[in-house]
Structure 1
């Protein structure tokens, strides 16, 4: 809105200035704001129009306005164009040589105009032909607008410098924040590697040893399953560490609904009855939606293992027209189960993940016992 208003003002201001110069020039030749001229009205209107047109384009070309203002003042004591030219000279002439050239030319012009007026007769000789009046008019039409233009230019330069300094400070702040973020990500990656990866590696090694020295087949199979799950956890952990260490990491393959049965088989191998129910017509979905659905089921099954033990669990995958609905519900456990330790942030993080893709998540106990997690993930 502000930029649009500035553009509109930028287009209107030159024409408003040109119109003002034209009207003031006509008023000066009529005698109400200057020296009355005996020339025909069309001639006066043409000169005033030339002054107005030159003022319109003074923001781009200064010297036509200077030339027109000089002729109009020396010939008719028509002062508006000369006054505007002095102001633009202060704002636009950056080289000292050009500025002094303009001042010298303007002083010469006012001296010439005063001489012409001095040799004239009547009111013009009285107004612009005396030395005092010539000096006063020169100061008013040369000195004051020139000083005003120089002040405006200096103020613009100060504001531009302040904006540049503020932009530089902002860029430095963003750079420092990015460096601090990268350092914190690297620190978190090191902590995760030192703590989590080390412990999971030990678990995999012990599972492998148990598989080799297992006294019976069920124990060997359970140890093999623990080893596979641990190695997958290490793989996932390496991907997470890669995300933390690099601002633009190359991600490995992400899980989709095609990997869901393998996830359910891992829970079944631990002795939990897991039933999968697909409803609706299966179809290709956006990778983000499938990955989110997989993570919902993964977190829900993790909570079943942690809090419900051997409770039978149902997993529903429902293909709706505009969303993919995932429901994981477990029945009450048949035996007492001590809760395994957890971070306490699983469902919180899961809710954030689902809401980031525009979905919804509901989680809570069921009537009659058990727990359920319901997620709706938009796919349209």
Structure 2
């Protein structure tokens, strides 16, 4: 709204200034605010119109206004264009050009005083005496020029302040990016030194157990543990690569196409997992698919930790504007019973879903067991 108002003001102001200069010029040559001229009205209107048009375009080109103002002042003592020209000269001109304008304005005003002095009647009285010529010079040239210089200097100060603020903001963003990269690198080192080492030991022990197992079932379980551990190491390397990358959005990320493999891993541990798709499956935004995968992954992790071998149902409901993910398990047969309250995993999962504008509900069911329900926007 403010930008639109600024654009409208930027278009209207020059023409309003031109109209004002035209009206004041006519007032000057008709005697209302200056020296009355005996020239025909069409000539006076033409000169005043030239002054108004030149003033309207003074923001783009100053020297045409200076030329028109000089002619009008010498010929007709028409002062409005000279006032506007001095003001814009103070704003836009610097050093050599400014001194050139001042010297030219003084010469033109002196010549106008001489012309008025040689004239007869009211013009000689108003603009031909030295005191009046000096006063007119101060009013038409000095005051507008000082005002323009002040406005120009103020604009320069504001521009410098804005540039300095923008530079500080760029430096702050750069420092924040460097600190973020350093923190990601530190986290990557910690994960590599601690988590990767422990998972590698787990894989080695699983391999040893598989080789030395006394029965086939133990060997199969050890092989599964080793496989899951190696996949965990692969995923960990991917995460470490993302952490070390300057662009953390790059790197492989799971989608719904990987969901069956995730469910098969849980089934291999002896848990009955049933998948139910409702609605017409369709390609979804990568962030939505990735979030849905993480919802199912976290829910199944909690089932493994707290619900023993409880049968679990995974529902994917494709709505018109969202994907609804429901993971619920039957009452646990293990001694520890159903899931406890939400831990940090569900807290982080809720933040992930809400960042997309979705919702997450997690809690025990009336008939027993636990459920996690997420609504993920897809539009």
TM-score, normalised by the number of residues in structure 1:
0.92
Structure 2: how far apart are the matches of 1:199 and 1:116? 101
Return closer, same or farther for 1:131/1:257 CA change in 2, 3 Å cut-off: closer
Match of 2:185 in 1: 186
- Paired residues, number: 379
Does the Cα contact within 8 Å between 1:322 and 1:378 map onto a contact in 2? yes
1:223 aligns with 2:222: yes
Whether contact under 8 Å (1:306, 1:341) holds in the other structure is no
| Between 70-79 and 254-263, the greater mean CA deviation after superposition | 254-263
Distance 2:321 2:119 in 1: 90
Structure 2 gaps, min length 5: none
Q: Distance in 1 between matches of 2:128 and 2:82?
A: 18
- For the residues of structure 1 that align with 2:70 and 2:283, how far apart are their CA atoms? 78
Taking a change above 3 Å as real, the CA distance of residues 188 and 59 of structure 1, as seen in their structure-2 partners, is: same
The residue aligned with 2:133 is 134
Q: CA deviation at 1:229?
A: 0.9
Scaled by the length of structure 2, the TM-score of the pair is 0.92
Give the aligned partner of residue 274 of structure 2.
275
Structure 1 distance, partners of 2:195, 2:342, is 13
Give the direction of change, closer, same or farther, for the CA distance of 1:187–1:125 in structure 2 (3 Å limit): same
Which residues in structure 2 correspond to 1:51-200 (within 5 Å)?
Answer: 51-94=51-94, 96-200=95-199
Q: In structure 2, what is the Cα distance between the partners aligned to 1:231 and 1:133? A: 98
Any stretches of 5+ residues in structure 1 without a counterpart? none
Distance 2:240 2:27 in 1: 79
Q: RMSD over aligned Cα, in angstroms?
A: 2.4
Q: Distance in 2 between matches of 1:97 and 1:250?
A: 55
Alignment of 1:230-309 (within 5 A): 230-248=229-247, 251=250, 253-309=252-308
> Is the partner of 1:314 in helix, strand or coil?
strand
Q: Identify the residue that residue 327 of structure 1 maps to in structure 2.
A: 326
Q: What is the CA distance between 1:201 and its match in structure 2?
A: 0.9
Q: 1:346-357 counterparts in 2 under 5 A?
A: 346-357=345-356
Closer, same or farther in 2 for the Cα pair 1:327/1:64, shift >3 Å?
closer
| More displaced stretch, 244-253 vs 119-128 | 244-253
Q: CA separation of 1:320/1:116 partners in 2, compared to 1, >3 Å: closer, same or farther?
A: closer
* Rounded Cα–Cα distance in structure 2 between residues aligned with 1:248 and 1:372: 35
Please say if residues 118 and 128 of structure 1, whose CA atoms lie closer than 8 Å, have aligned partners that are also in contact. yes
Q: Is the 8 A contact 2:306 2:340 kept in 1?
A: no
Distance 1:39 1:281 in 2: 86
